[in-house]
Structure 1
Amino acid sequence: MTARRSRRSAVYAALALGLAGSLALTGCNSHSSKSKKSSSSSSKTKKRRIIGGGAAAAGAGAGAASRRVTDCRPSSYKVTFSQQTGPQSHVTVKFKNTTSSACRVYNAPLLRFNNAKDPLPLFQGKPSELAGTRNTVPANGYVYAVIPTNTAATKGTEQKSVTVDFMGLSASSRTYGPAVVDFAEKRLHISVGKSKVTDWFTSVHGAEVAAGVGK
């Protein structure tokens, strides 16, 4: 009986050791699987963050490109003329930016009345001598230039049309245009003689003061 009990005890001990080893292996495998899943999840999260960050950067770059200010370009409906009479008589040149984004104008408009060979002289000097002043015109905003006509010589005679060019960044070599404004077609009476035109200004009062016809 004693020998039998000893053998049974040995068998039971061996079974217990085997079961414990199996449970230990199961636990290790489970922990390893969880670690792999956690590592995989972390890797996917990092990839998502990297991809998301790249998309955000690309979006920011596209937004910056869309906000880049381009040069304004003249047309017969964007550039208008009006003449004020009296002791401070003058012609106002107005440009409207009809687009949904800002644009930029440089120096002064180049105006050739009645197909003249040369444009009207500029208050600030010859185009090649200008420093390259610029004005940013917001969407649906305006800029103004003024031609004084408060003497007989500057008022001259009534004009039939004007050809408008816009200076580019390099005032002496690059312009945008031309746009032709037909005064007869628009039923306008514009008289200009031996006068000059101011730079572009963001306010009509500023242009009038520069032309010597504003207070």
Structure 2
Amino acid sequence: MTARRSRHRSAAYAALALGLAGSLALTGCNSHSSKKSKKSSSSSSKSKKRKIIGGGAAEAGTGAASRRVPDCYPSTYKVTFSQQTGPKSHVAVKFKNSTSRDCKLYNAPLLRFSNAKDPLPLLQGTPGHLDGTRITVPAHGYAYAVIPTNSAATKGSEQKSVAIDFMGISASSVTHGPATVNFAEKRLHISVGKSKVTNWSSSIHGAQLAGGVGK
């Protein structure tokens, strides 16, 4: 009877030892798997941070580039002229930005009618580096300037052509030009005498008011 009990106890102890060993092995595996999962999660998080930081820098660079607005260019199809008659007679100068991005215009157009040596004087004074005006013409948008011709002296005689330069920030600088418009070829009757031209404006009404011929 004693020997039988002893054998039963030995078997029970052996089973218990096997059970404990299996539990410890399983715990070790779970711990190792958890560490791997944490490392993988940490690595993924760092990768995402690097992507976000890199993407932000790239976007900032793109934004800075998009803010660089180029100068507008004159051409025979971008600059047009029309003459209004009556008490508030004037010549309207219209520029069309035919490109798909914004461009900038400084001060006023420099206009030499019929091969004149000097351009038409500026109605709003000679611009300097500090008080020069600048407007941004949106893609496919327009800008306007006006030449008052509401007196005999300012209306003068009919002109044959005009050479157009675009000014820079100061009176002495020219960004682009000249472009020459032949009025006879375009069947235009433009009369300009001892007059002056306004600065560029974003609207024809604003240019007319600046020239004193607004309605």
Q: Under a length normalisation based on structure 2, what TM-score does the superposition of the two structures give?
A: 0.86
**Helix, strand or coil for the counterpart of 1:93?**
strand
Q: How many correspondences in the alignment?
A: 215
CA contact (8 A) 1:107 1:130 kept: no
Matched ranges for 1:201-212 at <5 A: 201-212=201-212
Measure the CA separation in 2 of the matches of 1:173 and 1:5.
Answer: 114
Residue deviations 1:139-180 (CA, integer Å, cap 9, x gap): 222111111122222222221111111112344224222211
Percent identity, aligned pairs only, is 64
Residue 44 (structure 2) aligns with: 44
Stretches of structure 1 lacking an aligned partner (at least 5 in a row): none
| Greater shift in the superposed pair: 48-57 or 22-31 | 48-57
Q: Say whether residues 1:177 and 2:173 are aligned partners.
A: no
CA contact (8 A) 2:165 2:174 kept: no
Cα deviation for residue 49 of structure 1 reads 4.3
Cα deviation for residue 82 of structure 1 reads 0.6
Residue deviations 1:78-126 (CA, integer Å, cap 9, x gap): 1100111223221110111112222221111111112222111001223
Residue 71 (structure 2) aligns with: 71
Q: Under a length normalisation based on structure 1, what TM-score does the superposition of the two structures give?
A: 0.86
Residue 86 (structure 1) aligns with: 86
Measure the CA separation in 1 of the matches of 2:20 and 2:69.
Answer: 76
Stretches of structure 2 lacking an aligned partner (at least 5 in a row): none
CA contact (8 A) 2:160 2:184 kept: yes
Q: Say whether residues 1:95 and 2:95 are aligned partners.
A: yes
Measure the CA separation in 2 of the matches of 1:209 and 1:34.
Answer: 77
Let me know the Cα RMSD of the aligned residues: 2.4
Residue 123 (structure 1) aligns with: 123
CA contact (8 A) 1:108 1:122 kept: yes
**Helix, strand or coil for the counterpart of 1:165?**
strand
Q: Say whether residues 1:6 and 2:6 are aligned partners.
A: yes
Gap change, CA 1:131 and 1:151, over 3 Å in 2: same
Residue 164 (structure 2) aligns with: 164
Matched ranges for 1:104-115 at <5 A: 104-115=104-115
Measure the CA separation in 2 of the matches of 1:156 and 1:96.
Answer: 27
Letter matched to residue 148 of structure 2: P
Cα deviation for residue 185 of structure 1 reads 1.3
Residue 190 (structure 1) aligns with: 190
Residue 27 (structure 2) aligns with: 27
CA contact (8 A) 1:124 1:130 kept: no
CA contact (8 A) 2:71 2:175 kept: no
Runs of 4+ in 1 over 6 A off after TM superposition: none
Residue 133 (structure 2) aligns with: 133
